[in-house]
Structure 1
Amino acid sequence: MIRHLVLFKLNEGVERDDPRVVAGDRAFRELEGQVPELEFWECAWNITDRPIAYDYAINSAVADEDALKRYIEHPAHQAAAGQWREFATWVIADYPF
């Protein structure tokens, strides 16, 4: 199994209630049923407010590196991630578990 973690930081001046952000959150929440490679999926807003904290997180798992590649290339994932490019930056970690 491969764990796929993504932490998002909203760009300066962008708030969670921005319509683009609301739509981006919805798009990620809907991925669970759209991408067959996902063995596990959760996403949520960070509940802490610390200077080093990111705003939003995705915690997911796929079977192997081939499944990770298919997930990343899946049109629904590409569409959801594309929305976030407009208002956030992110970091990613993929590791076996």
Structure 2
Amino acid sequence: MIRHLVLFKLNDGVGRDEPRVLAGVEAFRALGGQIEDLRFWECAWNISDRPIAYDFAINSAVDDADALKRYLEHPAHQAGVALWREFATWVIADYEF
């Protein structure tokens, strides 16, 4: 199995309640039910107020590298990425477990 983690940082001046952000969150929340290769899916807003904290996180799992590739290329994933690209940056980590 491969764990796929993503941490998002909203751009300066962007708020969680903006319509474009809400649309991005909904797009990612829906992925768990749209992409067969996902074995585990959760995403949520950060609850920590630490200055080093990111704003939003995705924690997911797929079977193998081929499944990860299919997930990353899936049209629903790409659509969500396009939304988030407008108002955030992110870092990722993928590891076997």
State the TM-score, normalizing by the size of structure 2: 0.99
Matched, 1:60 2:60: yes
Match of 1:72 in 2: 72
2:68 is paired with a residue whose SS is helix
Matched, 1:25 2:11: no
State the percentage of identical aligned residues: 77
2:32 is paired with a residue whose SS is helix
Distance in 2 (CA, whole Å) between partners of 1:22 and 1:49 is 20
Residues paired across the two proteins, number: 97
Q: Unmatched 5+ residue regions in structure 1? A: none
Distance in 2 (CA, whole Å) between partners of 1:38 and 1:24 is 19
Structure 1 stretches of 4+ moved >2 Å: none
Equivalent positions of 1:15-54 (< 5 A) are 15-54=15-54
1:79 is paired with a residue whose SS is helix
Distance in 2 (CA, whole Å) between partners of 1:82 and 1:42 is 19
CA RMSD of the aligned region, Å? 0.3
State the TM-score, normalizing by the size of structure 1: 0.99
Distance in 1 (CA, whole Å) between partners of 2:15 and 2:54 is 13
Distance in 1 (CA, whole Å) between partners of 2:53 and 2:33 is 29
1:33 is paired with a residue whose SS is coil
